[in-house]
Amino acid sequence: MRSSSRALRVIWKGPLRTQESSFSSLLPVRSVPKTKFAVERKKPPAVNINPFGRDLSLKSQGKELSYEDVAARICKLCGGGSDDDGEELPLSVCAELLQLLNVLSAASDLPVPSAVLTTALYHTAKASKRSTRLRNLLEEDREGLSGFRSMFMTIMARKTALTPRNLSSLALSIAYAPSLFPGDKPHEVMRSVLKKGKSAMKVLGPQGLANTAYAAAVVGCRGSALTEKLQDDSFLREVLPSLEGQLSPQNCANLVWALATLGEGSERVWTFVEKEIGERRLSVRMKSLEIASTCWAFSSACRGEALLFGPLQDASLMRCRERQMGLQEVCTIMGAMAKRIKGKSHTGACNGREGSGVGSALPRVRSDLLSEFLERSKEALLEGEEKMVTPVNISGSVWGFAALGYVDERFFLLAAETALSNMTAFRPSELSALLWGFAKSRIFDESLTQAAAERVVGLCREGLISVDHAALLAWSFGCLGFWDADVFGALASVAVDALQLQGERHAAVNLEARDVGNLVWGLTAMCVAGISSDRKGEITHTEDGSMALMKSDCEAGVRLCGWLIDLASLWLSRCELGGGGSQGESESGGGFGLDGRVCAQVWQSYCVFSLLLPTGESGVELRNARMDSLRQIAGLEMQRVHRSSSWERGGGAHYEVYKALRDLGWSVEVEAMVDDLGLPPIDLLVKGGDEGARVAVEVDGPTHFMRNFPDRLTGKTLFRNHLLKARGLEVLSIRTEQWDRVSRCPDLIRQFFTKGLTN
């Protein structure tokens, strides 16, 4: 329908009316009912060509339509610009949209205004985002997709700059349906659009600026003309005053989300948005999704703590009580608050922006808000809403409640049951978050843990488990006291491969110190759990040389741990010399440039490894200088822990046990640091006896046992007991419940300690 010498006159006869049920959404486009057009040719006027109704006109029921009418018809068919998801577009509507797009595309060599083409592109892209049928038809129909792209290329080829409205509409179109635009790199397409509309950025207005920034962030377009402007103080001094008091709640949410995602906003922009939200109380008028996006943005950018734990927290509670908060928003808000608290508790500040050091008070989440979050999460899991109960939301809610320390056993078991029904859909990040939440909360579900282990093995075989996810999974299995030969072998293979590649300075592996520590400690703790269960087995080698653990070979796992410890200590020694791979010098690093907690994990794992080796076998050959460095740094870390964890001697089970031992004439040292550096402080170290024996008395409260299995020790406690035994100490573990039964009777106390300390 193109002509360079003669204009076209198109009389629209209207679409063929067909029943939706007679067509399948999977049929090729040629089977879709076509719109009838009668084409008339006429000579174009010699002068004063009016593109509206002359060069190309559409007639419906005797009424002549202009290009704007065509764009308006496309807008109406696509839902009229509504933000609601709505229903799937009928097949007849999709067919009519394709025909209207072809009509506009056919006139691309005529002076069709850019505003008309942009409007058609915007509404079509937005509709294709929610309509799978329309998106499939556009992608499968070469003529329709070519017409869509031709309209876009026509706009970009024109010498005139984009208007503010066209700029934001085109940017959103790319964000809504990147696959419909030319090329396979949406961020490059976005960059070209932003460059063409650079002159319009000063007059974008509040909604235009927010929408354009949001669209750029969706496709990951960093370093563009827009982000340059958002970092230009002269531009911001001119633009921001005109936006004061004009941003809507949605504008603020989109803008801060974009700034946090791109990571390229200046201090002036952040301060302006924070002031707008705080002084104008915009959070009260925010919808649930806008609250969640804003919370995530402030947490990710380490900003707005007063807003995050103040007005935004209050707004979240209000939306929950109005039953407008979904599970996805609950997970996002909890995750944002938990990460903000965890980040500040570890560093005392966030990227140096806020806080006054380690002594600054940590923000708190309101208990009534957490209670509302819990009830909403339970309802979602019980109702089983398909769009809401997804792997990412299940794992996110478990992670959030665990990180905030708000644990409800019934919810966790309900989440385990829900996750089991769809375990094959869990990705590595979701699996690691799910198991971390259960391990952190001390809730053990054997069916879930076993199913997760099988899923991890499958993902490892496909090469989909990264080293950071493997580290979290190993730590979680270790804390749960879980042993499985297959998952141990799979995670150990990931760890060994990563350490070997990093040792060769392989650029593809991004290995961090905390991952090394969690991998070594977690896998060693898994072996401790297996040995404690008296499980035996054997080890075999596959044809490609990789190690496969058969049955329940804990002893073979111990040998593999020795190899892993050797690689980890070598990697850490290189960090000491070159600084590569460490997370920065810690307070307990002692000038070595190493993370004290990581060194303690590796050193303590080596101690336990030496104890677990079968009788007659020698430990792995480790360089004395290398292990001495780890031992010294681990000792400094344990001294730091000792200073920060001293218990109050004025009461409680610890003090009562201490007093009873002293009354019986034993020599007792409180929170003792044994001669060997690198071991955790002992609750009570009892010295005495004919041979000067030393007994480590540990007073174990509920935190040393699984929450739903009070008699099952946690993996951390099992590891601690083996660590103390590895250094030549006898271990006497006293449960607080056990102590309560004997503490009121002096004879029982004497009998209890005499038996425990002499056997």
394-411, pLDDT tens digit by residue? Answer: 999 999 999 999 999 999
590, 636 Cβ separation under 8 angstroms:
yes
Considering only CA atoms, give the Rg of the chain: 33
Run of H or E residues at 561:
helix 554-578
Q: Report residue 711 CA to chain centroid gap.
A: 34
pLDDT digits (tens, 9 = 90+) for 34-78: 333 333 333 333 322 233 333 334 444 444 567 777 888 888 888
The pLDDT of residue 336 is above 60: yes
pLDDT band (50, 70, 90) for residue 107:
low
* Residues whose CB falls within 8 Å of the CB of residue 477, separated by 6 or more in sequence, listed in order: 435, 439, 449, 453, 484, 487, 491, 522, 525, 526, 715
* Domain range summary for the chain, segments of one domain joined by +: 1-160, 392-465, 473-641, 645-758
pLDDT band (50, 70, 90) for residue 564:
confident
562, 570 Cβ separation under 8 angstroms:
no
Helical packing angle, 467-479 and 446-461, nearest 10°: 160
Q: How far apart are CA 412 and CA 506, in angstroms?
A: 40
397, 433 Cβ separation under 8 angstroms:
no
pLDDT band (50, 70, 90) for residue 688:
low
Q: How far apart are CA 394 and CA 384, in angstroms?
A: 11
Q: How far apart are CA 714 and CA 481, in angstroms?
A: 6
Query: Averaged over 181-190, what is the pLDDT?
Result: 90
Q: How far apart are CA 412 and CA 444, in angstroms?
A: 10
Closest by CA to 739, choosing from 726, 748, 730, is 748
Q: What is the pTM of this model?
A: 0.81
Cα distances from 402 to residues 430, 445, 467, 716, in angstroms, run 14, 15, 23, 17
The pLDDT of residue 523 is above 90: yes
Closest by CA to 460, choosing from 412, 512, 495, is 495
The strand pairing partners of 39, in sequence order, are 10
The pLDDT of residue 81 is above 60: no
The pLDDT of residue 345 is above 90: no
In the CATH hierarchy, which fold is given to the domain comprising 645-758? Endonuclease; Chain A (3.40.960)
* Residues whose CB falls within 8 Å of the CB of residue 651, separated by 6 or more in sequence, listed in order: none
Beta strands at 730-735 and 63-65: parallel, antiparallel or unpaired? unpaired
| pLDDT in the model for residue 82 | 54
* Residues whose CB falls within 8 Å of the CB of residue 5, separated by 6 or more in sequence, listed in order: none
Q: Which residues of 340-373 are buried (b: 16+ CB within 10 A; e: fewer)?
A: bbebbeeeebbeeebbeeeeeeebebeeebbebb
Q: How far apart are CA 548 and CA 542, in angstroms?
A: 7
pLDDT band (50, 70, 90) for residue 20:
very low
| pLDDT in the model for residue 553 | 64
